[in-house]
Structure 1
Amino acid sequence: MIVVSSFEQSENLELAIINLQQNGINKQRILAVPFDKRREERKLFDSIHRSDGVSLFDIAAALGTAFSVLGASYGFILKWGPIIWGLIGFAVGAILGFIIDYFYTKMKTKDRNKVPTPFTEVVLIVECSESDSRMVSEILWTNLALGVSIVGKSSLSQPTNSQTQM
């Protein structure tokens, strides 16, 4: 049997490995795989190949529309006319909306990067006999595993016919 579990990088992971070894699981049957963490900051602008669902043009479009309507309305009174003042209003509103959205999104992503969220940092894979799988699972749960799954028969130690013919 193969028991797969996920852990945060902590003392509990080390204690789980030690408890498994003390209960008869060979060190060669335990595999701990750590994940690399993202080192680059999130990008504010989307590309055609990547999008995070945050748009910087929503408020810009809304304010651009509102300011262009106001500019066109007051343009009947002002010297250059409604079309020019509508375009000026649109440009001012769009720029103002983009600046507001840019700084709001920048602060929101900065706050999101500050808050540590619990996530899987290490996956622990244990190969054991079917009779030991319940004991291994209990050891992992008592050492605060984030999740544990027991996968059927072990195929790691005995290659199948298709693997030996390659």
Structure 2
Amino acid sequence: MTIIHPLLASRSAPNYRQSWRLAGVWRRAINLMTESGELLTLHRQGSGFGPGGWVLRRAQFDALCGGLCGNERPQVVAQGIRLGRFTVKQPQRYCLLRITPPAHPQPLAVAWMQRAEETGLFGPLALAASDPLPAELRQFSSLFSGRAQWR
């Protein structure tokens, strides 16, 4: 039995003490899913991190990933989650990934607005932030119920 100690877990990750199924094994992530659709992602260190995840050391993740056939049934045990010959222990360190908006957002400096470099999506920043908004930004704004602040 190989024990894996996660480096870090998100406080938003679902409680591991429930029934799981193996939903996907990838090079950088292993997805576990509950019957109700909650997702717990085991992330490879250095390959991203999400609000529903735990981060595993590279070598431990690679060993776990390489040791899975894809049809294992995760089992909840006292120490954590058992996957095949591995037990991923309950994390000891948690972080909160919620972004808190600043109380007093600062407008973008005029000097930045006058730069000619492309933004990558909509040309110069001054053009992307001018009226009327480009169609794509209008669509994003409506998708976010007007909560997106583009200026």
TM-score by length of 2: 0.24
Give the greater-gyration-radius structure (CA).
1
Which has the larger share of helix?
Answer: 1
Higher relative contact order (CA 8 A, sep 6+): 1
